[in-house]
Amino acid sequence: MVNVHRRRSWEIAESFATPEYAFLNRRALLAAMGIGAMAAAVAPGRARGAEADPTADLYPARKNDAYGVDNGITPENINANYNNFYEYGTDKYIATAAQSLVVRPWPIEIGGLVEKPLTIEFDELVRRFPLETRLYRHRCVEAWSMTIPWSGFPLASLVEFARPLSDAKFIRFETFLDPSMAPGQNSFLYPWPYVEGVTMAEAANELAFLVTGAYDKPLLKQFGAPIRLALPWKYGFKSIKSIRRIDFVAERPVGLWEAIQPSEYGFWANVNPDVPHPRWSQARERVLHTGETIPTRIFNGYGAQVAHLYEGLDPSSLFM
Ligand SMILES: Nc1nc2c(c(=O)[nH]1)N[C@H]1C(S)=C(S)[C@@H](COP(=O)(O)O)O[C@H]1N2
Ligand SMILES: [Mo]
């Protein structure tokens, strides 16, 4: 349950929360960031088929001002040209390659420990919930960060819709598996498809958000269209993109990164500046849109909302 008296640590002056991404000049910004040459790539929002998106009418979604950021919004053109999506490549410049993701049809299977397993098309699912827009921080385990105006609905609403049985302890999310539209999935170095998971208590937390849009329109493909997670208090790899299967399970799911390298990427992956990654410090982060390096905050600044979820648990595993 939400404790409304908890201090919302990220709440800030309204002036910071203006949608500056709508006005900033792209070329000027990229030049200022010094990444003009490498990112002169995809003009977001003009992706093939964007005009025909049958969910476009759902945006812009009502803004929920309870969720703000204090260091400005990362302009869309920066965000949309710096992505992590291993299905489309191992560097950050996958925006062009990701346009071969085919998002229709997009049947989503909801199963495991539920009253009645079902398959529902994304276009139908997204209309079952009122959408809202929230400004969220995103902190990648690689020590860069950004802020995004995500649109979507609480994961808790999906859980209610799915009607899990009482022995469900975790939710396991799975991405599509189709090497013909995602060349990265031809690589046998990774145990495709991408998988991630959360506990039922984490799923019920107000911050856990299923994202269907960003920057006031349906999700661009490189952001993980048509639907992805946002868990802003955890390292970015927990926020799985392009979800195709949602299973309620009794056993703790093993994510793709944990499967590859359990000594570096754990299940909890809560942001903590005091617990270094085995190969680098997590004390600071580079903000994509300012180029500044700022101190990282415990739980990425969302401790007032989520710290109670982890009381009494072994702290040695919570932050990796
Ligand atoms: N399916 C899938 N989801 C994924 C990833 C991925 O490679 N494949 N990368 C993760 C990582 S490490 C990060 S930091 C975020 C990046 O999201 P963004 O590209 O929207 O910034 O997506 C996460 N979700
Ligand atoms: Mo990441």
Query: CA Rg, the chain, in Å?
Result: 18
Reported as a pLDDT band with limits 50, 70 and 90, residue 310 is: very high
> What ligand is nearest to the CA atom of residue 90?
1
Give bridge partners of residue 153 from the DSSP assignment: 210
In this structure, are residues 136 and 209 in contact, taking their beta carbons and an 8 Å threshold? yes
> What residue has token string 């004390």?
283
- Residue 51: predicted pLDDT: 55
140 pocket-lining for ligand 1 (C-beta < 6 Å): yes
Residue 21 has pLDDT above 90, yes or no: no
Are 221 and 205 in contact, with CB atoms under 8 Å apart?
Answer: no
Nearest residue (by CA) to ligand 1, atom 2, is 241
What confidence score (pLDDT) does residue 52 get?
83
Nearest protein Cα to ligand 1, atom 8: 85
Place of tokens 């989520």: 306
- For ligand 1, is residue 106 a contact (CB within 6 Å)? no
Distance CA 156, CA 103 (A): 24
Return the higher-pLDDT residue of 2 and 213: 213
What is the average pLDDT across 208-229?
98
**pLDDT > 80? residue 237:** yes
Top-confidence residue, 128 or 30: 128
Residue 118: Cβ within 10 Å count: 13
Higher pLDDT, 58 or 14: 58
Ligand nearest to the CA of 147: 1
Helix H or strand E encompassing 153:
strand 144-154
The average pLDDT across 176-202 equals: 97
pLDDT of residue 49 exceeding 60, the answer is no
Please tell me the distance between residue 197's alpha carbon and the centre of ligand 1 in angstroms: 14
Beta carbons of 17 and 72 less than 8 angstroms apart: no
How long, in residues, is the chain? 320
User: 184, 88 in Cβ contact below 8 A?
Assistant: yes
> Which of 116, 130, 38, 33 lies closest to 75, judged by CA?
33
147, 135 in Cβ contact below 8 A?
yes
Provide the mean pLDDT of the chain. 88
Rounded Cα distance, 156 and 200, in Å: 9
Instruction: Tell me the domains of the chain and their CATH numbers.
Output: 14-317 (3.90.420.10)
Cα angle vertex 266, ends 264, 272, to 5°? 85
* pLDDT band of 13, cuts 50, 70, 90: very low
Averaged pLDDT, 195-210:
98
| Residue whose pair of structure tokens reads 């302009």 in the numeric block | 75
Cα distance between residue 252 and residue 250, in whole Å: 7
Phi and psi dihedrals of 182, rounded to 5? -145, 90
**Nearest-angstrom CA–CA distance, 60 and 52:** 16
pLDDT at 66 over 70: yes
DSSP helix, strand, coil percent of the chain (3-state; round to 5): 25, 25, 50
147 ligand 1 Cβ < 6 A: no
> Does the pLDDT value for residue 231 go beyond 90?
yes
Tell me the average pLDDT across 109-136.
Answer: 98
- What gap in Å lies between CA 103 and CA 243, rounded to an integer? 11
**Residues 275, 233, 23, 56, CA torsion sign:** positive
Contact 265 CB / ligand 1 (< 6 Å): no
pLDDT recorded at residue 258: 97
Please report which confidence band the pLDDT of residue 106 belongs to, taking 50, 70 and 90 as the band edges.
Answer: very high
Q: How confident is the model over 138-171, as pLDDT tens digits?
A: 999 999 999 999 999 999 999 999 999 999 999 9
Question: For residues 67 and 14, which has the higher predicted lDDT (pLDDT)?
Answer: 67
Strands 118-121 and 107-112: antiparallel
